[in-house]
Amino acid sequence: MQPEIDLFGLPIKTFGLMFALAFLAGGAVLHRRLLERGMPGDWAYESIFAALAGGLIGARLIWIVENLDQVNGDFFGSIFTGSGLVWYGGAAGGALFVIIWARWRGCLEATTFDLAAVPLAVGYAIGRIGCQLAGDGDYGKAWDGPWAMGYPDGTVPTAPGETVHPTPIYETLVMGLIAWLLWNLRDRVRPGVLFALWLLLAGLERFLVELVRRNDIAALGLTLPQLQSLAMIIGALIWLAVVFRRHGSVTLPAQSGMIRADG
């Protein structure tokens, strides 16, 4: 755990460093995929910038809405403070800005959503490394198992001597595996299916990790992230069912798979 590093006398927050790395890695993956599909590689960084801008705005606005009592009458001033982000607000804001960008570029179709699937998984996996390094409170419930960890020096420290589930590590490993799986399926499924699979697998991952996370129950015995995850899972299943009903399968015929430059 290392919330901050010193680079030639300049303090660098490791969470911010991993946040930036997540976007760069997502952009690199998207760049390669765009080239594979015969599209301009530079579009990767346009869309990543759109996602970054929309994500930051969405994450901050939702935090303000959920914490109006802390705004203290200064709504616009609160927008530009350096703390308070909500992940699903970031996801919604980022998605909206990317959709606007894709519409502007004239490429808003099912395959556009598919392009985002692997970068989203890669970015999330790297982002959770930032959570682990910062000890920002995204860890799990108290536990004394063989790989339990304490975060006494984290941004949100655990109690002295307390060990917990290192859930950021769980999420990095699982989302990394999901990214690898989706990358290998990218030319084997029908348009729109790859993104639906990301919704399904990311929703399952977050729903299950919440079983050992420190979050309050919101409704129906579930935490707010679990309710959001259920919405993702249900949406993905409906999406996959529609594709299956239209085509009889969610996979492409073998001869329809695109031949990539790497063979």
- Blockwise average pLDDT, block size 10, the chain, 263 residues: 75 81 89 90 86 78 67 52 58 81 83 87 89 85 92 86 93 96 94 93 94 87 89 94 93 63 40
Q: What is residue 63's predicted lDDT score, i.e. its pLDDT?
A: 66
Helix (H, G, I), strand (E, B) or coil at 223: strand
Q: What is residue 260's predicted lDDT score, i.e. its pLDDT?
A: 46
Q: What is residue 70's predicted lDDT score, i.e. its pLDDT?
A: 60
User: Residues in the chain, how many?
Assistant: 263
Q: What is residue 84's predicted lDDT score, i.e. its pLDDT?
A: 52
d(CA 97, CA 5): 32
Question: Residue 15 carries which side chain, given as an amino acid letter?
Answer: F
Q: What is residue 71's predicted lDDT score, i.e. its pLDDT?
A: 58
Q: What is residue 14's predicted lDDT score, i.e. its pLDDT?
A: 80
Nearest to 183 by CA among 251, 119, 128, 259: 119
d(CA 123, CA 143): 28
Q: What is residue 263's predicted lDDT score, i.e. its pLDDT?
A: 38
CB 115 within 8 A of CB 34: yes
pLDDT tens string 54-75: 877 777 777 677 666 665 555 4
d(CA 239, CA 114): 13
Question: Residue 197 carries which side chain, given as an amino acid letter?
Answer: L
* DSSP secondary structure letter of residue 255: G
Burial class of residue 153 (count of CB atoms within 10 Å of its CB; 0-12, 13-18, 19+): exposed
Burial class of residue 204 (count of CB atoms within 10 Å of its CB; 0-12, 13-18, 19+): middle
CB 205 within 8 A of CB 173: no
Question: Residue 208 carries which side chain, given as an amino acid letter?
Answer: L
